[in-house]
Structure 1
Amino acid sequence: MDITTIIGILLGFISLIAGFALEGGHLASLWIYTAAIIVFGGTFGAVIISFPLSSLKDLPAAFGMAFKESKRNPAQIIDEIVDMATIARREGVLALEQRAQDHPNPFLREGLLMVVDGTDPDLTRQIMELEMDALEDKYEGYAKMFDSAGGYAPTIGIIGTVLGLIHVLGNLEDPDTLGPKIAVAFTATLYGVASANLIYLPIGTKIKNRSKALVSDMELMLEGILALQAGENPQLIKKKLTSFLHDKNGRKNTEAGADANGEEK
């Protein structure tokens, strides 16, 4: 489990509830099951309408990407590529065949096998870039489902509030109960806005960030493979690839969570 995702969601909701309680609110008044049915049911219904079944089937994987922690280790990848470049310069790329076949990273494995097979460098780049684009599009689809839910939830909450007010205004026989009934009606808006800004949109953003980190690692592997194929000096390769360990401001990239090992196709 990614502890930052869990902590963030818990902290957000605990802060809201604690602030409400400190203002003298009654916690029991925050749970209105009819409002929950309207907001969460309506939001999921809107998402189901928006995406095809093939995309909706990926929803568990999208949740897993947000909550499952997987370690990145680009420095280790660089060391492996440099080591293989040293072997290739000394013994030829064919000496890497067994090591390539046994490598646990599918993206790096496929690239190395293309090098061993003597694939044209331009074709190697083209194939691997297509793989990167496909994976990036896949994760973008994951994020879009949560972004859509984050867009629908507040509106569905307002609809729930309007429905509640219709019910309240249709029963004005007892004016003393108007205040509590109106408060209950606005609970739907609370559910919609809170779920959008504490669950759906943050998870969508996290998926985008992890996708960006994963693609960065794949770019590192691609450049390393092409440099290895070109027979470049291993130390120059290391210097070139080390630039991927830093962001544009020169700070070390230590983002954890994206899987540097790629994903089996």
Structure 2
Amino acid sequence: MILDENYTLSNGVEIPKLGLGTWMIDNAATVGAVKAAIELGYRHIDTAQAYQNEQGVGEGARASGVAREDIFVTTKLDAGAKSYEAAVAGVDASLEALSLEYIDLFIIHSPHPWTEFRGEKTYFEENRQVWKALEEAYQAGKVRAIGLSNFERGDIENILEVATVKPMVNQILAHISNTPFELIEYTQGEGILVEAYSPVAHGELLKNEHVKQIADKYGVSIPQLSIRYDLQLGLLPLPKTANPAHMKSNAELDFVISDEDMDYLKNVETIKDYGDASMMPVFGGKL
């Protein structure tokens, strides 16, 4: 069962192959969602300072009754925190909000502040200072692993040039109809695990009849097919849901997509409209 399987990060830390995303789940609802997910067998919960639900994630994890060392918690530094001092404070703020003694994975949420996402300013020097703070938190045992999110190749290379601790993950948008193969190949080639958020394209894939035909062929749902697709690319998918029935279904992945169907899915026409999520810079919009 996929919930029992792990990837091993470059520093030897094991990370469950499937995680629960919590983007756009409010803090109060997050408590029950996390508790339900853990009761179903999930051991990997993904949150962020920007989600404003870290407190709910920590409370839900404690309410589950599962030992802390058996739950993998990821959070992300606010995208606007672009100084050493802000990053140091950010680590401590997340520890306090989660009410945890340590964080399993702490990530820089974006190479740029959201309002300047993919803008002209690279923020290379600022990200180096932020990375230094994360390295220190790692060495101090406040976090077990450190990584990146939404970093392109140039952003990653900038960190690698100065890193004393190499990034262990890069969390990116990657799903059927929008899979950045060159970035994935480069990142994996550097020994960095690629995590895939929005594996169901924020629900937009549910409207794709061609994808539905392939899902029907395997007797699975479009979300199940989409999550399996990411796994077969060696990615770690993070489907977001507060619905226990969906959580359960998302983890029922006992099938293999054929090479022929994988090749087809790799070339599905790119989604250009993400509905309500289109306002987010990572989906091409603006805040």
More relative contact order, 1 or 2 (CA 8 Å, 6+ apart) = 1
Which of the pair is proportionally richer in helix?
A: 1
Larger Rg: 1
Taking structure 2 as the reference length, what is the TM-score of the superposition? 0.24
Which of the pair is proportionally richer in strand?
A: 2
Taking structure 1 as the reference length, what is the TM-score of the superposition? 0.25
